[in-house]
Structure 1
Amino acid sequence: MPLTDLHLDIDRRVDFIRAETPDWLCGKGCANCCRKLSDVPLLTAAEWRLLQEGLAALPAERLAQVSEAMARLVSQPMRPVVCPMLDQVSNACPVYAQRPVACRTYGFYVQRELGLYCGEIEAQVAEGKLADVVWGNHDVIDRELAALGEVRALTEWFARWQKEQA
């Protein structure tokens, strides 16, 4: 499966960076990126199918909370946005194993025109602290994603799924 292969490639890069830099900022409990999304995430059809599995496995109460957060996100004109799946008490993702590629690569991949995204990591780079890091190339990831089906906003996928469930 192409998405599984892509995840394995990403995991190898992330594991390598974590092994080389044990005090890496991105880790369980850090939800800075989840709280400061520049926009509603876009997902390919393959990513949505995987995420849908994670959402379907959530307890009804947690899924209802996600649904409410999605509804708020649709009507929220201001940016940045908070990921509607984030458990804001624990700073954990309840669908972590099924999370989209953008979440998997954030903080570990660089994009030619857009940089590293994370201000805290960029600050460490500016201080010379991460000079030895071999970043993943997000432009390559984007090319791989382009082959994984149509792209829609997370809120659109979720709304379609809810209609199918009704």
Structure 2
Amino acid sequence: MEFKEIFEKYEALVAEVDKAFNKISEQTDDGIKCGKGCSDCCHALFDLTLIEAIYVNHKFNDKYRGMERSEIMHRADVADRQVHKIKRRAYKASQAGTPASEILKEVSMARVRCPLLKDENLCALYEARPLTCRIYGVPMNIGGQAHSCQKSGFAPGKAYPTINMDTLQSKLMELSEELAASINSRLRELPEVLVPVSMALVTDYTPEYLGAKTGEAPKPKAPAAAPSEACTSCDQDKSACASCNYSVELGVMAKD
């Protein structure tokens, strides 16, 4: 299946995330100490939205063949089993009444090697890496709480510009919903599916898997929202709308 238009919107969001990362890097003298060869973020446990999973899957299938592909797929299978065990333990803990804060803390400390991490500690799909990987080194606002990589060099208690992860996640969900609508998926919860990188690599995203209704016209797009005050005063042509609509919200957190 082709998702050219939606992929272009996702890539516009990626460009905004990279721009936000660079902006924060320029504004902070003591942070973002990570460099080539640092793979701390490559062992963090996180999931991909539908749009990210399919995008990574497409880029991986386009780039890799033969033995190198087989090696990555083997690592993905190993990682997927590890992730499943961690999530299974978390589920059992929740059923046993363990506070959610304790479960989340344990999961956040779990370490699983990303299958795309090569032996020389470099990413096998760096140009198409997920958004979480792109912003791992900068402070993030998640549900009103500040988070940052402990190896980046940010000082606790000091104010830094941050990336609002709730805003970013909402934009990813919107793109996932648009993707599901574009294939008339009969799976109502498809846009809400979250999977680790390992599963995104090994999954065969066929029309049948995605619940696509073949032979039917695509669902009509939702009407565009009314222009904001910023839009009415904008002097750019429509070619600027993609990056504007998918801009990343920056804020400042007083404490890390």
CA distance in 1, matches of 2:64, 2:139: 29
What is the SS of the residue equivalent to 1:111? strand
Residue by residue over 1:101-159, the C-alpha shift from the partner in whole angstroms, topping out at 9 and shown as x without a partner, is 111121224123453242223x632285xx4x422211211111111222331333333
The TM-score, its normalising length taken from structure 2, stands at 0.53
CA distance in 1, matches of 2:55, 2:139: 22
Is 1:157 the counterpart of 2:164? The answer is no
- Which residue number corresponds to residue 60 of structure 1? 66
CA distance in 1, matches of 2:155, 2:127: 29
CA distance in 2, matches of 1:90, 1:137: 32
Matches within 5 A, 1:65-76: 65-76=71-82
CA distance in 1, matches of 2:127, 2:75: 20
The TM-score, its normalising length taken from structure 1, stands at 0.78
CA distance in 2, matches of 1:81, 1:52: 19
Is 1:47 the counterpart of 2:74? The answer is no
Give unpaired runs (5+ residues) of structure 1. none
Residue type of the partner of 1:157? A
Q: Alignment partner for residue 126 of structure 2, among 80, 96, 101? A: 96
- Which residue number corresponds to residue 253 of structure 2? none
| Partners of 1:48 and 1:157 within 8 A in 2 | yes
Percent identical: 22
Larger radius of gyration: 2
What is the SS of the residue equivalent to 1:152? coil
| Partners of 2:32 and 2:137 within 8 A in 1 | no
Give unpaired runs (5+ residues) of structure 2. 1-7, 87-109, 177-190, 208-256
Q: Alignment partner for residue 27 of structure 1, among 32, 35, 39? A: 35
Change (3 A) 1:104 1:42: same
Change (3 A) 1:127 1:94: same
| Partners of 2:32 and 2:154 within 8 A in 1 | no
CA distance in 2, matches of 1:90, 1:25: 19
What is the SS of the residue equivalent to 2:194? strand
Change (3 A) 1:115 1:83: farther
What is the SS of the residue equivalent to 2:21? helix
CA RMSD in angstroms, aligned pairs only: 2.7
